[in-house]
Every structure is written in structure tokens, then in C-alpha cells.
């Protein structure tokens, strides 16, 4: 292994539902700022996190137009984390479980996301300094 | 003996399984392991003074280091001063450092 840490995260919660994802992304943000090699294996609902067709919307209840509402999107957070990792000499390899993607029709992901299998999680974990599995509840 | 980082995102008022998680922390510490319980999200609610948190308070007496994510505390309007004895506010970076150092990390 190189002198840079390699860390793997496995997540299964979808966007806009659970605070767990925000916490995990905060951890990934720390790793990205340190230039670590980060692998994320997303399965079940988590394959929706980098879905490219997520869109902001206005909020008539709050009286906000699109710009005022400025609704955060998980795909943008992930793209920003990938950039942060690159800017700091690291890497964020985001792997979406292919079967989970097909089940949900989530094939249209942002750049930098690749399809994989649970075997990739095994490979990433084997090559990492540590792995965190975050299940849903 | 090993180092363990247990990340607790639920509170005992919404999930009784949380009490079993506290027992896991106690058992690991009693077996001679170094154990940190990191409270995050609603897990921090159990760390307030006056909460029905005897099980959580007992953890520090058993040698478990109980930490609470300061970001989650701020989100919920919980001041550091209002935390129960034995619960210490800290940043997520503290937990991350343990994880990055190879501590066995379990998201409960």
C-alpha cells in the first residue's frame, strides 16, 4: 500500500431520506481533503445518490422559486467530493451495484461513477486500510 | 485486545436495539478492549443531561469513551454544557481519525 490511506465505504440508503448518508459524505469529505484513495460501493437505494437526472425544484409552499429554494442534490455533492479528492491528489472511485442500478432504472449516473458487483466491494476492502459498512435501518 | 469505534446514529427512545448496542460496547470494554462510542445524528439526544440515559451514563464507568458529534449537537440545539457527565463533544474528524488509523469500526 502507498503512504496515502485507502478507505472503503459501503452504503445502501438513498438520497433525501436518511441523515446517515450526510454523515458518511461528511466522512468522505474529510478523506477527500486529505487526498486519500476512497472507494465507495453503493448498493440498493444508494445507487440513486449519483443519479444524473436529479433536478432542483421550486417550493410553492415556502413561496420560493427555483433559485431561492436552491435545493441541494446528492449528485452534486458527490461530484464535488470527486473534485475535492482530485484537487488534493487523491481519488474517489464510486461503484454502483449493477443489479441494483438495473432494478431501479438508475443507469444514468454522473461522470466518474462505474458499475460493479459485490466482488468489487471485496476487492476494495482487501486493498484498503479500513472499511466501513453502513447498513440501512 | 483491539480498538473499537462504535458509531451510534439512533437514540434509545426510537429504537430499543440501541440498548443492546450499549451492552455490546460494555462487553467489549469489559473484555479489555479500548472502546469509543461515537454518538451522531439522533444518537446525540441520549447524551443530554436529564435524558433517561442511565444505560449510556454507565458506559463511561465501564471504561467506554463516549463522544458526541458537535455538528449533530448544533443541529439539535444541544449545547456542550448540557451534555451528561461522561459525554464529550468533539468533531467528526475525531472519529474519522480512528477509522483511518485502522480501528475496527462498526456503524450500529
Q: Quick one: closest CA in B to A5, which residue? A: B100
Integer Cα distance of A111 and A109 in angstroms: 7
Whether the pLDDT of residue B3 is over 70: the answer is yes
Q: What is the pLDDT of residue B52?
A: 74
Calpha distance A46→A11 (Å, rounded): 6
Q: Which residue has the higher pLDDT, B97 or A1?
A: B97
* ipTM score for this prediction: 0.94
Q: Which of A30, A132, A135 sits opposite B105 (nearest CB)?
A: A132
pLDDT recorded at residue B94: 98
**A2 — pLDDT class (breaks 50, 70, 90):** low
pLDDT at A1 over 60: no
Segment B39-76, tens digit of pLDDT: 999 999 999 998 878 888 889 999 999 999 999 999 99
Contacts of A15 (CB under 8 A, 6+ apart): A21, A48, A49, A51, A54, A73, A74
Residue A23 has pLDDT above 90, yes or no: yes
DSSP secondary structure letters along B64-85: -EEEEEHHHHHHTT--GGGBPT
Average pLDDT of the residues of chain A: 96
Confidence tier at A136 by pLDDT (50, 70, 90): confident
Q: How confident is the model at residue B13 (pLDDT cuts 50, 70, 90)?
A: confident
Chain pair A-B, CB pairs under 8 angstroms: 42
Position of cell 467489549? B28
The domain locations on chain B are: 3-107
For the segment A105-128, the average pLDDT, to the nearest whole number, is 98
- C-alpha grid cell for residue A13? 440508503
pLDDT at A3 over 90: no
Distances (CA, A) of B102 to A120, B40, B42: 20, 20, 26
**Over residues B79-87, mean pLDDT:** 94
How does pLDDT run across A49-91, given as a tens digit for each residue? 999 999 999 999 999 999 999 999 999 999 999 999 999 999 9
**Contacts of residue A44, Cβ cutoff 8 Å, sequence gap at least 6:** A12, A13, A14, A97, A100, A136
Q: Does B102 reach chain A within 8 Å, measured CB to CB?
A: yes
What is the side-by-side strand order in the sheet with B3-8? Answer: B87-90, B65-69, B34-39, B3-8, B104-107
User: Which of A5, A19, A137 lies closest to B100 in CB terms?
Assistant: A5
Helix axes of B17-30 and B54-61: crossing angle, nearest 10 degrees? 10
Residues in chain A closer than 8 A to B15 (CB atoms): 137
Provide the grid cell at A5: 490511506
The CATH T-level fold of domain A6-134 is Hypothetical Protein Ychn; Chain: A, (3.40.1260)
Beta bridge partners of B3: B34
- Give how far the C-alpha of residue B41 lies from the chain's centroid of Cα atoms, to the nearest Å: 11
**Would an 8 Å CB–CB cutoff place B98 in contact with chain A?**
no
CA distance linking residue B29 with residue B64, whole number of Å: 6
Higher pLDDT, residue A110 or A3? A110
Could you confirm whether domain B3-107 is CATH 3.40.1260.10? yes
Amino acid at each position: 500500500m502507498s503512504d496515502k490511506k485507502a478507505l472503503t465505504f459501503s452504503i445502501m440508503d438513498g438520497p433525501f431520506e436518511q441523515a446517515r448518508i450526510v454523515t458518511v459524505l461528511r466522512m468522505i469529505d474529510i478523506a477527500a481533503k486529505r487526498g486519500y484513495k476512497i472507494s465507495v460501493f453503493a448498493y440498493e437505494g444508494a445507487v440513486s445518490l449519483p443519479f444524473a437526472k436529479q433536478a432542483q425544484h421550486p417550493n410553492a409552499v415556502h413561496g420560493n422559486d427555483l433559485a431561492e429554494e436552491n435545493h441541494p442534490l446528492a449528485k452534486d455533492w458527490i461530484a464535488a467530493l470527486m473534485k475535492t479528492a482530485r484537487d488534493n491528489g487523491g481519488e474517489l472511485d464510486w461503484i454502483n451495484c449493477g443489479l441494483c442500478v438495473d432494478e431501479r432504472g438508475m443507469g444514468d449516473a454522473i461522470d466518474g461513477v462505474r458499475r460493479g458487483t459485490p466482488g468489487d466491494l471485496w476487492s476494495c476492502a482487501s486493498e484498503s486500510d479500513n472499511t466501513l459498512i453502513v447498513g440501512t435501518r | 485486545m483491539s480498538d473499537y469505534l462504535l458509531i451510534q446514529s439512533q437514540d434509545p427512545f426510537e429504537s430499543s436495539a440501541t440498548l443492546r448496542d450499549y451492552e455490546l460496547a460494555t462487553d467489549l470494554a469489559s473484555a479489555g478492549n479500548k472502546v469509543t462510542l461515537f454518538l451522531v445524528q439522533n444518537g446525540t439526544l441520549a447524551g443530554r443531561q436529564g435524558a433517561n440515559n442511565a444505560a449510556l451514563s454507565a458506559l463511561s464507568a465501564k471504561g467506554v469513551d463516549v463522544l458526541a458529534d458537535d455538528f449533530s449537537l448544533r443541529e439539535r440545539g444541544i449545547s456542550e454544557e448540557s451534555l451528561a457527565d461522561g459525554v464529550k463533544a468533539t468533531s467528526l474528524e475525531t472519529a474519522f481519525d480512528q477509522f483511518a488509523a485502522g480501528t475496527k469500526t462498526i456503524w450500529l
